[in-house]
Amino acid sequence: MSIKAVPKAEYLQHLQPQTMTVNLVVGIISIAPARTVTIRKGGYDMEIIELTVGDETKAGFTISSWHSAQDPRSKTVDQSRKVLQSLRPQDIVLIERVALSSFRGAVFGQSLNRKATKNTTAFTVLHKAHEFRSDSVQQSSLPPAIEHKLERVREWVSSFVGPSAKRKAQHEPLSHAGQKKGRKHALTEDFLPADSQP
């Protein structure tokens, strides 16, 4: 699905209590440092890594990935966290099973709650912009639809994301994202600490 095709808040509200999930191939615009929040129901800590992403149809979509707070004594590897920590602007990822939510008319994506569902949100690196990595998927192994989408997103990323682009995209798709930047920052502070993970 393209970001522009993501349903509006009214449609998502109509689906409640069901949660809609989508698969997205997106370019990374920015990644916020992980921050810790305390869940009111249960009193335990979670860490949130927030991505701002885009594709050739729209930019400025926010996806929040929830993770258990890191325990230095634990030997368990959080693979999703590992992938996210490796990402840089201009990288391209396939994100499977992104849960869609809304708040005050704004639609955003979240990772699925691992404690509430058998399915999890998966992050697969399709393209590293500045280096070769063995964990990047080789293009020849991708389904044709994903391969074609990757090419379109790669063209968009090379033109509109990164210091060399000088935010050229703000005159087109990023203009909408820029207008909402302050609002989205405020929204994350409002709704993410609450028990809003699907």
Sequence spans of domains, the chain: 3-191
Question: Lowest-confidence range among 86-95, 113-122, 136-145?
Answer: 136-145
- In Å, how far are 70, 81, 116 from 151, measured between CA atoms? 36, 26, 35
Please say whether the beta carbons of 22 and 1 come within 8 A.
yes
- Confirm whether pTM is higher than 0.85: no
What pLDDT, on a 0 to 100 scale, did the predictor assign at position 39? Answer: 83
What pLDDT, on a 0 to 100 scale, did the predictor assign at position 68? Answer: 86
Give CA–CA dist 196/165, Å, rounded.
35
Report the CATH superfamily, name and number, of domain 3-191.
Nucleic acid-binding proteins (2.40.50.140)
